[in-house]
Amino acid sequence: MHKFEKLVFRDGEKFYYRFSIHQRVQHIFLFTSVILLALTGFPLRHPEEAWSKPLYEFMGGTEIAPMIHRLAGSVLLILFVYHTIYWIVLFMKNRILPLKREGKLTIRSFFHQVLSMEMIPNKKDLYDIIHLWKYLLYFTNRPPRHERMSWREKFDYFAPYWGIPILGPAGFVLWWRDEFSHIMPGFVLNIAYIMHTDEALLAVLFLFFVHWYNVHYAPEKFPAATVWLTGYLTEDEMIHEHYAEYVKVMIEHGLEEEIKPQHFGGATYQW
């Protein structure tokens, strides 16, 4: 896989690299299957609500909607496994094999590599959370300066890593209940049912309120962020969300002179 330019110019504007085409396609599969799962699952979760029956009919009714739900669930599970293999392969190729070639691979350096991966939460994230609360409660006038992956994005990323291992197997057991009843008691279905239905509520509420706030509802994003399509962030978004990374990239490209001051939301600071 070739290295992407961290900073590109289009029509005199700066754009900062974020997601490869491979990752963007994975995201499309992810949200398509999750939206289909929610639309075919939630009417069943709240069958007595006025909206649920028309929605279920729209999604194919009691015969077709469960098929769509199972198909989308299968796609999501396959994507989950695929994505896990994807980052393990990248990790081995980019981090472990070079170390091995140099003969520096020890248990210690292996764990150092694991913990310094971009998506792994670190000490800086803890500082950023504390800093954000200080900022939100007006104890400082400087918003946190995130690196390439902010703690919120890490939380978003790990939400499926918590949700899918709970929802997926539970859904799978409920789907193949007759077959599973030969190897496990029916009581497992009771447990799977609670896991599936309650974790689904958490996932959908989180996506709807928190993730969609981050990428849709926030005033500077509304109606929608474009990074999932283009793979690049604008300079404004970069300053707002990843100021530490922004400064680093600008310095790497010898553009110290053009570094703009930090701002929050639409407001630039009067320092």
Residues 20-79 that bind other proteins (CB under 8 A): 20, 43-45, 47-48, 52-53, 56, 61-62
133: left (phi over 0), alpha (psi -120 to 50) or beta: alpha
Is 257 a residue that touches other proteins (CB under 8 A)? no
Shortest separation between residue 9's beta carbon and other proteins, angstroms: 20
Is 209 a residue that touches other proteins (CB under 8 A)? yes
CB 77 within 8 A of CB 164: yes
Separation in Å, CA 14 to CA 121, 224, 227, 249: 28, 20, 14, 11
* 88, 92, 194, 229: residue in contact with other proteins (rule CB under 8 A): 194
Residue 151 CA, chain-centre distance (Å), reads: 11
Is 85 a residue that touches other proteins (CB under 8 A)? no
* 39, 71, 105, 210: residue in contact with other proteins (rule CB under 8 A): 210
Shortest separation between residue 23's beta carbon and other proteins, angstroms: 9
Matching residue, tokens 């997926």: 168
Is 145 a residue that touches other proteins (CB under 8 A)? yes
- Closer to other proteins at the Cβ: 153 or 198? 198
Is 241 a residue that touches other proteins (CB under 8 A)? no
The 8-class DSSP code of residue 231 comes to S
Among 180, 210, 215, 173, smallest CA distance to 27 is for 215
Pairing state of beta strands 13-17 and 263-264?
unpaired
Tokens representing 29? 């599969």
Is 102 a residue that touches other proteins (CB under 8 A)? no
Please tell me the distance from the alpha carbon of residue 271 to that of residue 249, in angstroms, as a whole number: 23
Matching residue, tokens 């509420």: 205
For 237, phi and psi rounded to 5 degrees?
A: -60, -40
Shortest separation between residue 133's beta carbon and other proteins, angstroms: 8
- Closer to other proteins at the Cβ: 91 or 110? 91
Using the contact rule CB under 8 A, the part of the chain among 8-16, 32-40, 68-76, 209-217 near other proteins is 209-217
Is 165 a residue that touches other proteins (CB under 8 A)? no
Identity of the residue numbered 154: K
Among 236, 240, 238, smallest CA distance to 248 is for 238
Is 261 a residue that touches other proteins (CB under 8 A)? yes
Matching residue, tokens 């691979």: 105
Using the contact rule CB under 8 A, the part of the chain among 77-85, 101-109, 186-194, 226-234 near other proteins is 186-194
* 12, 187, 223, 254: residue in contact with other proteins (rule CB under 8 A): 187
* 25, 126, 136, 229: residue in contact with other proteins (rule CB under 8 A): 136
- The number of residues that bind other proteins (CB under 8 A) is 79
